[in-house]
């Protein structure tokens, strides 16, 4: 059985409902290979929509494919 990619898990989780979520943390891998974390505590639905629309199927940013979402947590 093929395991889901990070983006597939993200899309499934968002589509199954994350109403009331108060926090999203993303681990972003930069072009240097370094990973930084970003924490959002406001405008969660807008941030989730942005992440879905601004990234390709491999969770790379469309505007800069050298940057990708390596992981996330929605609370």
Tell whether the model's pLDDT for residue 21 goes beyond 90. Answer: no
Q: What is the pTM of this model?
A: 0.83
- Determine the pLDDT at residue 1: 60
**Mean pLDDT, to the nearest integer, of 28-48?**
96
Report pLDDT for 2.
Answer: 66
Q: Does 14 have pLDDT greater than 90? A: no
Please give the Cα distance from 14 to 68 (Å, whole number).
18
């Amino acid at each position: 059985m093929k395991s889901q990619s990070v983006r597939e898990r993200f899309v499934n989780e968002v589509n199954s409902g994350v109403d009331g979520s108060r926090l999203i943390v993303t681990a972003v891998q930069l072009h240097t290979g370094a990973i930084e974390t970003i924490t959002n505590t406001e405008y969660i639905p807008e941030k989730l929509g942005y992440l879905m629309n601004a990234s390709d199927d491999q969770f790379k940013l469309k505007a800069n494919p050298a940057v990708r979402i390596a992981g996330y947590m929605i609370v």
